[in-house]
Each structure stands twice: as structure tokens, then as C-alpha cells.
Amino acid sequence: EVQLVQSGAEVKKAGESLKISCKGSGYSFTSYWIAWVRQMPGKGLEWMGVIYPGDSDTRYSPSFQGQVTISGDKSISTAYLQWSSLKASDSAMYYCARPKTGIRYGMDVWGQGTTVTVSS
């Protein structure tokens, strides 16, 4: 079964660092992009950026460039999303998702989501 499994919920304080993960299985992890999508409480979906685990090519939405870092470790089929200094406004649900084929295509596999809560 093709699936993405994300790390568990996090509760942090403003200013702390954080790295959440997304582990792929059931498919060739290095052959598909992995995207990160943010959903703030009661709000819509926002595309943050993507990584191609095969060569670590990474692209960011202009809204998130410089705010987060997307990385991956193909040896363990895992993608990461990290913050160096969290803000209360980073409190949200974060999903990883796999585009069907290329970067522009629909995302047909989604992780279960990781809730990040940041207190000020």
C-alpha cells in the first residue's frame, strides 16, 4: 500500500526549533516529489513547497521562502519540514502529499497530518 506517515503532534514554545517528518512507503520514494501543505485553524490549504528526494531539488512558495526548510533523507524514505525559530503564527496542521507525476500535478497520496501548536 502506498502511504505517507507523518510524525506526531508537537507542542512548542515560540523561539524553539522544530523538525517534523513524513515517511513514504509502498513506492519508489526517490521517483516522486513530496509537497508540504499548511492548514491554519479554520482556514484553507496553502502550498509551502516541494522536494524531489532523488536529487534533493527543492522549491518554495514565495510566502514560505526563508521561513521554513524542506529537506529529505532518501536512505530512509523520509522528507522533513523544519523551523529554526517558531512563531505563534506557525500553529497549524501540516500535511505532506505526493503529486501523481510531476510537480504541477494533483496530489494523490496524503499523510495524516501533523498538528503543530506554538505558545507565545
Partner 1 sequence: QSVLTQPPSASGTPGQRVTISCSGSSSNIGTNIVNWYQQLPETAPKLLIYSDNQRPSGVPDRFSGSKSGTSASLAISGLQSEDEADYYCATWDDSLNGVVFGGGTKLTVL
Residues of this chain that bind partner 1 (CB under 8 A): 35, 37, 44-47, 49, 59-62, 95, 97, 100, 103-108, 110-113
Closest to partner 1 by CB, 63 or 120:
63
Closest to partner 1 by CB, 36 or 80:
36
Closest to partner 1 by CB, 88 or 103:
103
Give min distance, CB of 120 to partner 1, in A: 25
Give phi and psi for 6, each to the nearest 5.
Answer: -100, 160
The 3-state DSSP class for residue 84 equals: coil
Give min distance, CB of 106 to partner 1, in A: 3
Closest to partner 1 by CB, 44 or 75:
44
- Residue 87: CB atoms within 10 A of its CB come to 12
Which residues share a beta bridge with 3? 25
Specify whether the CB–CB gap between 110 and 95 falls below 8 A: yes
Give min distance, CB of 58 to partner 1, in A: 12
Rg (CA), the chain: 13
Closest CA to 92 of 47, 38, 52: 38
